[in-house]
Amino acid sequence: MDKAIKFHRIDRQIQQHWEALEDRIKEVKNGQALGGEAITKLEQQVAKLTARKYALCVGSCTDALSLSLLGCGIGAGDEVLVTPFTFPASYTCIDRVGATKVFLPVDKNTLHIDIDRIEEFITPKTKAIIVVNLFGDMMDMDKLGAVIRKHKGIYVIEDAAQSFTGRGAGSYGDVSCISFDPTKVVPCIFGTGGMILTDCDLIYHKVSTLHYKNAGTNSQMGTIDASICSFWLDIQHQLHVMRNFIAETYKNNFRGVVPIMDNDINHKFVIRPFHRDRLKNYLAEKGIETKIHYPSDEIKDVLSLPIYPTLRNDELEYIIKCVKEFY
């Protein structure tokens, strides 16, 4: 390859769909930067997709998580269970509301919370659990729900930032939080955004009050980005087909070569290679950008490969060739 293969290429996706995106941008003709019909349309679109009663656009998924905790009445003196193996926003939101985070053990195979050990960490102070659908792979929510239902008064907050548009993502628990970050499957392109989803009247009304003008918070999603995210949802099947083709090609070629993580929507394509750091450096020398999701003292064998709808066939073949050559 004569050029480097970047880990993420939102620029290509924008270029490929620029005409349609430009039309969406032109729809926002009145100069309204925040609120308006585009926000309402996206909220209704996502609520329908996830079969949720309420959807509320906010400034980011990070804000969505913090606001959801506040909406559940969680604060100082309360404990919130969460995985340590995730993007930090999944647990720093607990610090933001003054509660205490309690890290749960991680299943070394799935890299999700070890559901069988959750009850070891539940105390009278436990008021919520944040469940992360890591890399786009759904947790076993039925099994988790059966455990939590044994203990009254514990809210389930689904962090669906990485799994939105996947199997049931956004529909579990008391509250779900999703992300429209530019790196996500449904991306903003001018800024970022997030959404809170719930069926609970009380939680919805509390977060609606908290997200803007009150409690010193101003967490709003841009109107133009809302219109753009609505377009991505309109063509999501097409984008999924492209991602799935890339993922299946990786799987077919890496079978017997390197272990692969399961995934529902292929937000990330994660392998678990021997000599992870050596492979990462080798691929960098070959012009292939990879990422470690996430740095951990306990888990040192995860490596994310490029996967996005506009990854070209020649780039895909080159990545596969280089990984195979390393082994």
Helix (H, G, I), strand (E, B) or coil at 215: coil
Domains of the chain: 27-234 (3.40.640.10), 235-326 (3.90.1150.10)
**Percent of the chain surpassing pLDDT 90:** 91
- pLDDT tens digit sequence for 278-297: 999 999 999 999 999 999 99
- pLDDT tens digit sequence for 228-260: 999 999 999 999 999 999 999 999 999 999 999
Q: What is the pLDDT of residue 159?
A: 98
In angstroms, the CA 151 to CA 91 distance is 22
**Which helix H or strand E contains 27, and what residues bound it?**
helix 18-27
Contact 46, 236 (CB under 8 A): no
The residue count of the chain comes to 327
Q: What is the pLDDT of residue 2?
A: 58
Q: What is the pLDDT of residue 217?
A: 80
| CB-based contacts of 134, cutoff 8 Å, min separation 6 | 83, 85, 86, 111, 112, 162
- pLDDT tens digit sequence for 160-176: 999 999 989 999 999 99
pTM here? 0.95
User: Is pLDDT of 94 > 90?
Assistant: yes
| Pairing, β 303-305 against β 269-271 | antiparallel
In angstroms, the CA 197 to CA 50 distance is 8
- pLDDT tens digit sequence for 106-149: 999 999 999 999 999 999 999 999 999 999 999 999 999 999 99
User: Using DSSP, how many helices (H) and how many strands (E) does the chain show?
Assistant: 11, 9
